[in-house]
Amino acid sequence: MKKSFVVLLLVASLLLVACGTAEIPVTEAPASSEATSSQSSAVVESSAVAEASSSEAPASSEASSSAEAAPADVVEVQVVLGDNWVQSSITTFKVGVPYRLVITNSGGRVHNFNIHPVAEKSDAGIQFALDNALLSVPDSQLRPGSQVVVDFTFTQAGNFEFSCLIPRHFKSGQYFEVTVEP
């Protein structure tokens, strides 16, 4: 009984630390004088911070179990998914600048991650977002406590959202608007 209490206390402490309200500093991306590509590029690396099933394959053949340091010309962006919220360390991006998105699921539920044009918060809006997504990371890679690293370059300017498109999550506020400048 005493051992169970100690284990329960330890688990509760870890949950409190993991679910804290750490703020991510918000900055703007640097300007780039050269565009790197006319198409979006995405390389996904997956690293489970919590235990995950070893029988599931990553969504990309480029996936690995550890994130490498970003090259000097790549801007690293911290994206955190919680239960019904998204935060990003950068809110304004530039077309043609390569970004390394370090996406962490700090919530207690599985999430997916998408970049898409701003969408209405309805079933039709979710379908629009899915149909027009520039990037999608499946929920099989974003289990609670996991982290995925994606290299991505925007090829068009406009207003976009980082979101989880699980219907209940999206409708409950799990999206974050970003701007991409030319």
CATH classification (class only), 23-181: mainly beta
Determine the pLDDT at residue 1. 54
Determine the pLDDT at residue 71. 72
How far apart are alpha carbons 15 and 84 in whole angstroms? 17
Residue 113, beta-bridge partner list: 137
More confident site: 38 or 176: 176
Q: What does the pLDDT average to over 130-147?
A: 97
Q: What does the pLDDT average to over 52-66?
A: 32
Going from N- to C-terminal start, the domains of the chain cover: 23-181
pLDDT tens profile 78-89 = 999 999 999 999
pLDDT at 105 exceeding the cut of 90 = yes
For the chain, what is the mean pLDDT?
A: 75
Q: What radius of gyration do the chain's Cα atoms show?
A: 17
* pLDDT bucket at 35, cuts 50 / 70 / 90: very low
Q: Among residues of the chain, what percentage have pLDDT more than 70?
A: 62
Residue 152, beta-bridge partner list: 42, 99
Helices (DSSP H) in 84-151: which residue ranges? 123-131
Look at residue 132 and give its three-state secondary structure: coil
The whole model's pTM is what? 0.66
Q: What does the pLDDT average to over 21-49?
A: 41
More confident site: 49 or 93: 93
* pLDDT bucket at 176, cuts 50 / 70 / 90: very high
Determine the pLDDT at residue 70. 62
Residue 82, beta-bridge partner list: 85
Q: Amino acid identity, residue 61?
A: S
